[in-house]
């Protein structure tokens, strides 16, 4: 009886650990989707800003700056940002830290939304799965650069601004 009882408790413990592991995996997947969405929103604003700035569309830039300010992410506190809202400037700095291939993928993805993904991949001479892999990797890196703690609650890109505010 003692062996069966011990075996039953070990099986119950194993099932409990497996259930906790599955819950942790689900939580990690949700966290990854949220991080991807946060990076995606920043990159969309960055792409719109960059395209319109290249076209010299001042009215659109003012409109987007107002929209970002309304969302609590606008305004420029950096004299080097050329009037760019801080969120766009920080995203631009993060994009500049990507590899050349990742930067090319991000620029095509967010500055040429009129193209199909197959066309964007083809323009870079990549298969679509490879293009997607570079895009996912780039978004993860951008999220880390913008939001990952480095010191306190500051992303690495924003570290100096955070240190000044302390």
Structural domain boundaries in the chain: 31-165
Nearest one of 92, 155, 104 to 131, comparing CA atoms:
104
Please state whether 82 falls in left (phi above 0), alpha (psi between -120 and 50) or beta: left
Q: Does the pLDDT value for residue 123 go beyond 70?
A: yes
Task: Return the higher-pLDDT residue of 163 and 104.
Answer: 104
Residue with tokens 């703690």: 149
Rounded CA separation 56/58 (Å): 6
* Lowest-pLDDT range of 6-15, 35-44, 104-113: 6-15
Enter the pTM of the model.
0.63
């Amino acid at each position: 009886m003692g062996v069966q009882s011990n075996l039953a408790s070990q099986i119950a413990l194993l099932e409990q650990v497996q259930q906790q592991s599955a819950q942790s995996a689900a939580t990690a997947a949700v966290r990854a989707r949220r991080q991807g969405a946060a990076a995606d929103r920043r990159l969309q604003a960055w792409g719109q800003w960059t395209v319109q700035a290249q076209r010299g569309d001042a009215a659109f830039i003012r409109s987007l700056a107002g929209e970002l300010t309304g969302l609590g992410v606008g305004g420029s506190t950096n004299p080097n940002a050329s009037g760019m809202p801080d969120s766009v400037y920080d995203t631009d700095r993060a994009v500049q830290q990507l590899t050349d291939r990742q930067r090319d993928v991000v620029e095509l993805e967010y500055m040429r939304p009129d193209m199909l993904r197959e066309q964007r991949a083809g323009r870079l001479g990549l298969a679509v799965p490879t293009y997607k892999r570079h895009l996912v990797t780039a978004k993860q890196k951008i999220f880390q650069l913008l939001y990952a703690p480095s010191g306190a609650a500051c992303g690495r890109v924003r570290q100096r601004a955070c240190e000044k505010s302390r």
